[in-house]
Amino acid sequence: MKRTLFPVTLGTVLLFTGLAAAQEFQAHPSTQLPANLVTLDMLKVWEQELSNWGRWGPDDQRGTLNLITPEKTRQAAALVQTGETVTLQHFVTLEKALDSQSFGPTEYRMSRLDPVTGEPTFALDEISFSLHDGMLSHIDALCHYRSEVNGEYIIFNGYPQNLTATGCKDLAIDRMGTSYVTRGVLVDIPLMRGVDWLDPTTPIYVSDLEAWEAYAGVKIGSGDALFVRTGRWAMREAEGPWRYGQGGAGLHASVLPWLRERDVAILVGDAVNDVQPSGVAGIGRPIHQLTQVNLGLPIVDNGYLEAVSKTAARLKRWEFMTAIQINPVPGGTASPFNALATF
């Protein structure tokens, strides 16, 4: 059976052309050490070994969100102690920068204007933006990534990737449920290392995640929402925007078996989740690829983790109840990530 990972890029990444000066990032040296090295052949084996295809039946379109059971929600509700609530969302802005509007323009307008004066006549407005905008916290639908099997594009659970002008036929965001409440666990690697943020291209390994568990006194388990902070937003505020999607800290591909073993229900990063460059020759975003296609694990890019980081550090509590709303965009490849953390 022929299987092709998708999409394919080179290990050294040349950033988006046509947007200011080009810049290059090299994969972090540690990703090439024998103990950490991941290859395309390893990923192809993991496609089978880590697969959740059929686990929740042949017609399932929710993937690991099925792990958020009523019992898991009750357990999460019991975590609320102080009642403090913070947002986990960053919304689009009108700022034109290296990390925004790369997939389409963000436009805002008042929608009832006087034809003569051009002044608003009523309090109505409109906004349009890309669901994958670099400034938008968004949850990817499971139809977003694909593998090639015998010349056909296949998505999670063996569905063919049937794309039309009206979106995805299967595994679209509106097929994944609208509301979930579960236990959230924050992994704050910069805090543990005593820095404000991780430098671009810094990989996060299983050893880092388990060191955090010991540091914070938590254990990540089945049905949890896992929030991994790299400090992207703190770095942006201090130093300005950069093309974090081509040179950013994040999870290394070697974390994939651990995510499957721990049965994480949803993965939230403050950048693109994958360390960039990935350090895996031949593929740019292996975390995206296998979580969505094989594990059926929904991921959130650009989660806003600064407020929850400050609150968790002050309370010395890195587990909390998280409430997630999914906007059911018909056929959508993503939805804005509307979520809260309550301590």
Q: Could you tell me if residue 119 is inside a domain?
A: no
In a domain, 116, yes or no: no
Query: Quick check: is 100 in a domain?
Result: no
Q: Is the pTM of this model over 0.85?
A: yes
- State the pLDDT at residue 7: 40
Supply the pLDDT for residue 23. Answer: 67
Indicate which CATH number applies to the domain containing 295. Answer: 3.50.30
Residue range(s) defining the domain that contains residue 182: 3-90+137-342
pLDDT digits (tens, 9 = 90+) for 97-115: 999 999 999 999 999 999 9
What mean pLDDT, rounded, does the chain reach?
A: 93
Average pLDDT over residues 272-301: 98
What is the spatial distance between Cα 142 and Cα 157, in angstroms, rounded to a whole number?
10
Does residue 289 lie in a domain region?
yes
Reported as a pLDDT band with limits 50, 70 and 90, residue 82 is: very high
Averaged over 173-193, what is the pLDDT?
A: 98
Q: With respect to residue 321, please indicate whether it lies within any of the assigned structural domains.
A: yes
Over residues 88-104, mean pLDDT: 96
Omega before residue 58 within 30° of 0, cis? no
Q: What is the reported pLDDT for 24?
A: 87
Q: Does any domain span residue 123?
A: no
Triad 18, 24, 29: Cα angle to 5°: 160
Give me the pLDDT at residue 34, please. 97
CB 146 within 8 A of CB 189: no
Q: What is the mean pLDDT of residues 164-180?
A: 97
Q: Has residue 305 got a pLDDT over 60?
A: yes
Which residues, 6 or more positions from 191, have their beta carbon under 8 angstroms from its beta carbon? Answer: 229, 309, 313
Is 121 inside any structural domain? no
Taking the alpha carbons of 199, 202, 204, 207 in that order, is the dihedral positive or negative?
Answer: negative
Q: Contact, 248 vs 211, CB < 8 A?
A: no
Domain count, the chain: 1
Domain contains 124: no
Distance CA 205, CA 333 (A): 28
